A and B are shown apart, each in its own frame.
Chain A
Amino acid sequence: MMMRRLFTGLIVVFVIAMGCGAVQAEDTVCITCHSAMEGKYGEPVKLWKGSIHEENGIACNACHGGDPKDAPNAMKKERGFLGAPKYNEVPSFCGRCHVGVLKDYLASGHGRALAAGGPNCVICHGSHQIVKASLELINEKSCSRCHSYERAKLIKAAMQETEGNIVAIDGRISGYKQTGTDVEKMEKELFATRNRFHSLFHNVDVKKVTDESAGIKADLKKIENSLTTLDEQKGRRKLAGAIAVALALVAGLLVHLLRKTYE
């Protein structure tokens, strides 16, 4: 059930990302006009630059609607412009893409407290300078704005090792990707596992976090095993290469000596 929900979420994210790609983020009229503005109208562009959304080509219109190609009509309702959501609408605003995360959030203590003024997404994630979700988001400075850090600290500690594993595996996969190795399956597995793990971020039950982390660690181990197989293959190839280079050099030396005999 969980996996199905995650995959539904992933598909929605990909579909929206593909749709957004139809207009290059930097080319939208939103960016052109707002980047020249001062204060609260120009600030979002500065914050968005360097965000995970910018990195993935998710431009302003992907969240706020409107026509990114037609400046005079870009912000008309008939062109689908939504503007900025009200405080309580933010989770459903973000949840149009982050479907699984929205469900996790609504089920969490934070989500249940929304109507009573509890935190919405932007309180922790920011509204435009959104970075890739990581454990760094759970920190004393941020959590202490609303409540004591004690329980958050315990949850963070329980997740720390797994997060470290995920980051390390991600780095290894990226390394192999840059050598033309087909890592698509591993990337998808890590993506699903990471999302499962990140769904715990919204949970405030320490026991549940600890139990779930064990299952996630097992999945990560499988990916690590695949990477170890690749490491071994790389080692074998280097050994074969060393032998081939040595043979070529020996052959060159023999030919050189033979050539000398004819002088």
Chain B
Amino acid sequence: MELLKKLYKWIDVRIGAGEIVEKELTGYLLPRNINAWYSLGSVLLFIFALQVVSGILLLIYYVPDADKAFKSVTYIMNDVPFGWLIRMCHAVGSNMMVLVLLLHMLSVLCMGSYKSPREFNWLTGFILLTMVQGISLTGYLLPWSQLSFWATTVATNSANAIPVIGPHLVEFLRGSKMVGPATLGRFFALHVAVIPIGIAAMIGAHLFFLKRTGVSTPPFGRDGTTTPWTGDAYRYEGHPGGIPFFPNYALEDLRSVFIYLALFLAVVFFDPYIFFPRDAFLPANPLVTPAHIKPEWYFLANYQTLKIFPNELIGLSVQGAAMTFLALLPFIDRGRERHPLKRPLFLACAIGGLLLWIGLSVWGHYS
């Protein structure tokens, strides 16, 4: 203990560690009425870290070659010590990351935390959602299974609907006319390098905006500690008299992480196959098209939207319009009120949109 104190002092006198702890941890005050939904950001950070670690471990044995990829994954699952656990953590983790990210966004929507002055927070969060979808899509191909191959064929094919550049875009995405070794190469590069770096950078930007703007006050309950932003000049939304981040909210974050971990491990150990259809364990065969290839659950609504319109361009345009609307929501919804029950139009649209998304997903699953 004495040795640790000496070490701390040694560091403190050099870099002012105590000042950082005071400013960023114990002196970093949060609204008194902050709730558990705010901890989903920390849960997401934990998930991302777990994905990076499990991904690096998988990289040791995974071979990004169309002739060897499936066998290397089979080897990981069956011969590498705890390889099955690492792979399942990575695969289940990617699904959970999307799920928690959607919940995080939903809580931000309901509590109006996307509103001024937090447009940047929302935009970076939205970009993170698309990047997470991108990393999931590119990762889907890597096991080189029937599911990987055909889901990627269907997904890349949808770009064909874009006028003029569509066919060129499909070829650019695939690296050839058909999904093949070139597609695996570029999806691998995107999955393990380009998108993770992008996500890390965007997480940095998201946290930077969070630090500069300050944590939003929940619209529920009384806080009374906020120094609100008025729009005339830059002002950090502080919470004098609020609760310290450390240890109080850090423990709340940690509790949420453990609850998530319990849920995650239950899926990993007891039924990870809810995320793996039968074709996920058959090697890719470009000559045999499986009967019912479906995308991952979070793309089912997009998939069904493409199917219900008479041509794919309309389907793509509708999706593009919906995504643009969501991305620009803080610029469209300019009202100051943040309590969901005092925003009936917003609440109706949000519930309607959510039900529509769930309905399309269920329809897509059974269609």
Q: Which residues of A contact B (CB under 8 A)?
A: 21-22, 24, 57, 177-182, 237-238, 240-242, 244-245, 248-249, 251-252, 255-256, 258-259, 262-263
Contacts and interface: CB of A to CB of B under 8 A. Distances in A.
B287 A245 contact: no
Interface residues of B, number: 31
Nearest to A56: B288
Interface in B258-278: 258-259, 261-262, 265-266, 268-270, 273, 276, 278
Given A182-B74, A259-B248, A259-B252, A245 B265 contact: yes
A224 B61 CA distance: 30
B255 A259 contact: yes
Contacts of B287: 21-22, 24, 57
A241 B268 CA distance: 8
B266 A258 contact: no
B74 A262 contact: no
Given A240-B269, A241-B269, A248 B261 contact: yes
B273 to A, nearest CB: 6
B84 interface: yes
A182 B261 CA distance: 28
Nearest to A250: B258
Q: Would you call the interface of chain A mostly helix, strand, loop, or mixed?
A: helix
A105 B46 CA distance: 64
A223 to B, nearest CB: 17
Given A181-B77, A182-B74, A255-B258, A241 B270 contact: yes
A8 B365 CA distance: 43
B258 A249 contact: yes
A237 B252 CA distance: 30
A178 B248 CA distance: 45
6 contacts: A24-B287, A178-B273, A179-B273, A179-B281, A180-B77, A251-B261
Interface string B128-157: 000000000000000000000000000000
B78 interface: yes
Q: Which 5 A-B pairs have the closest CB atoms?
A: A241-B269, A252-B258, A248-B262, A259-B251, A182-B78
A31 to B, nearest CB: 14
B241 to A, nearest CB: 15
Contacts of B81: none
